[in-house]
Amino acid sequence: MFSGPPADPAAPPGPGLPAAAAVPAPTDDAPFAGGTPGQQSGRPAPGRSWTTPLLLCAAGTLALLVALLGPGLVARGTGELRIPGAGLTTVLRTVLFAALALHLGELLAPQLIRPVRGRPRTAVRSWAVRASLAGAAAAAGQIVRLAAVSDLGITETYGTREGGLLLLIANGLVLAALCAASRRPALALAPLALVIGAEALRAHPEAYSPEFGAALTVVHLTAASLWTGGLLYVLRTMWIWRGSPVAARALLGRYARLAIWLYVALAATGTASALRRLPLDVVFTSAYGRTLLVKLALMAVVSVLAVAARRRMLRDADPSAAHLLARREQVLLGLVVVVSAILTVVPDPHWISLRP
């Protein structure tokens, strides 16, 4: 999902052009380099038909391995209690976060697309219904895992704080999927807001200022979902608009202006959350601290790619170079989602802090 040009059903079946065409075929490095989608044949370029599926499989495999093995690796040697089923929980939470990002991104991006002058009428196919249903299934999976770990029945699990919030999340995502399938998909904003609020409360059961932590998480999770999901939708749209580089460049510019404010919100809430939750004496000796350092390193690279894409967009009339940089940014953002899921699974670092 996060690597290479999106294999979108609404896009042409392949990037190649017939041998007799007068314009060159677009390549991965220059997807806007020739022809409109209607001018291209359905036959992919020789030797390139498996590139995107292979990249998608490689990215998915890497994300799965990081989710399954990450919690154990970052906790090695810390002396913290082992979290039962941490790898599986991370996978389920990654799916939940990805579902939120996809659905919120689809609600945001059309607002950026609508004002673009001269835009093609071709639109990408919605993934919102499937994404929200996958997120609901992931929340239900966490309820089952919680019941198994706690040795409780499903009904009894609903009565616990975490089980009740997970049930609320699952129901909210099902309702969001129904809204997305209706004639007024914007109605999904209400259940998605409920999901984000429930997730923020679920992530902060600690005794020290949980309300403040939940408020920070609401802003942080919303901004992260809009950034990640919005960028994916914009890249998918740019790919099917590759025959209209002016419109594609204008769309990326509109997203980039919004992304600056999302980045500010992420940086502010992320810093406040880290200062609140992570004692300085366990930054390198707790699973939470180590995971946070990995996330900060990834975000630093994402920031560099975002700035580079913006500069290329402002300098070049052809958006292909900026599109390539933004695709790489999207890949790393996908990995950031996985690492963020690990952060919600590892133990609270206050338990091993030397502070009284």
Q: How many C-beta neighbours within 10 Å does residue 27 have? A: 14
pTM across the whole model? 0.83
Distance CA 262, CA 104 (A): 13
Contact at 8 Å (CB) between 117 and 202? no
Which segments of the chain are extended strands (E)? none
pLDDT tens track, the chain, 356 positions? 333 333 343 444 433 333 333 333 344 444 564 444 444 444 444 444 577 678 778 888 888 898 999 898 998 888 888 888 899 999 999 999 999 999 999 999 989 999 998 889 888 999 999 999 999 999 999 999 999 988 889 989 999 999 999 999 999 999 999 999 999 999 999 999 999 999 999 988 877 788 898 999 999 999 999 999 999 999 999 999 988 999 999 999 999 999 999 999 999 999 999 988 888 888 999 999 999 999 999 999 999 999 998 888 888 878 888 888 898 899 999 999 999 999 999 988 877 765 54
d(CA 344, CA 166): 14
C-alpha 225/C-alpha 218 separation (Å) is: 11
Q: How far is CA 347 from CA 42, 275, 299, in A?
A: 51, 16, 22
**Which residues lie closer than 8 Å to 210 by C-beta, 6 or more apart?**
201, 204
Stated as kind and residue range, the H or E segment containing 140 is helix 128-150
